Amino acid sequence: MHFDNSSCNGCDIEVLACLTPLYDVERFGIVNMGNPKHADVLLITGPVNRRTARVLRNLYEQVASPKMVIAVGTCASSGGVFHNCYNVLGGVDKVIPVDVYIPGCAARPEAIIDGVVMALQSLTEQRHLWVTCPHCQTEHEVTDQRWRI
Ligand code: SF4
């Protein structure tokens, strides 16, 4: 799920570019979700300000564990150009834990896809499922390969 904290929208356009036919992340099984309860990964752009901090924490708590948080762009990583503004708290990690930081102003789609892949690799290690084979009744370890962002 993509959430715009309070960015200038430069990073948001690059996130959207990942969904266009040019980059087409859906071919890797990555689907953008509108509901945090259906997402595995929270993709955040922009710095945290006093108004969005509560919303961000609320969204984070609604994403089921195991989950990953990706800070997209310099602002989401550290506050960036908005650092020390009167209403800005700083990067996303001032409010919720961040797993992957993607630098850049704006972060390039290639870097965003790279960061998402890193997060999904880490999620894959955490999310090994055990299913019982209906034929031999033994348990097999499988990995969920579809991801909702
Ligand atoms: S990192 Fe740059 S492009 Fe991204 S939100 Fe901040 S100012 Fe805008």
Give pLDDT tens digits along the chain (149 positions): 999 999 999 999 999 999 999 999 998 889 999 999 999 999 999 999 999 999 999 999 999 988 999 999 999 999 999 999 999 999 999 999 999 999 999 999 999 999 999 998 888 777 666 667 777 877 766 655 555 55
Answer whether 95 contacts ligand 1 (Cβ < 6 A).
no
Neighbour-count burial of 37, counting CB atoms closer than 10 A to its CB (0-12 exposed, 13-18 middle, 19+ buried):
exposed
- Which residue, judged by its Cα, is nearest atom 5 of ligand 1? 7
Q: Give me the helix-helix angle, 10-19 and 109-126, nearest 10°.
A: 70
- Which residue, judged by its Cα, is nearest atom 6 of ligand 1? 75
Residue 134 confidence (pLDDT): 74
Residue 35 confidence (pLDDT): 94
Residue 122 confidence (pLDDT): 86
* DSSP assignment of 86-98: TTEEESGGGTS--
Residue 106 confidence (pLDDT): 94
How is residue 46 written in tokens?
């922009």
Residue 137 confidence (pLDDT): 77
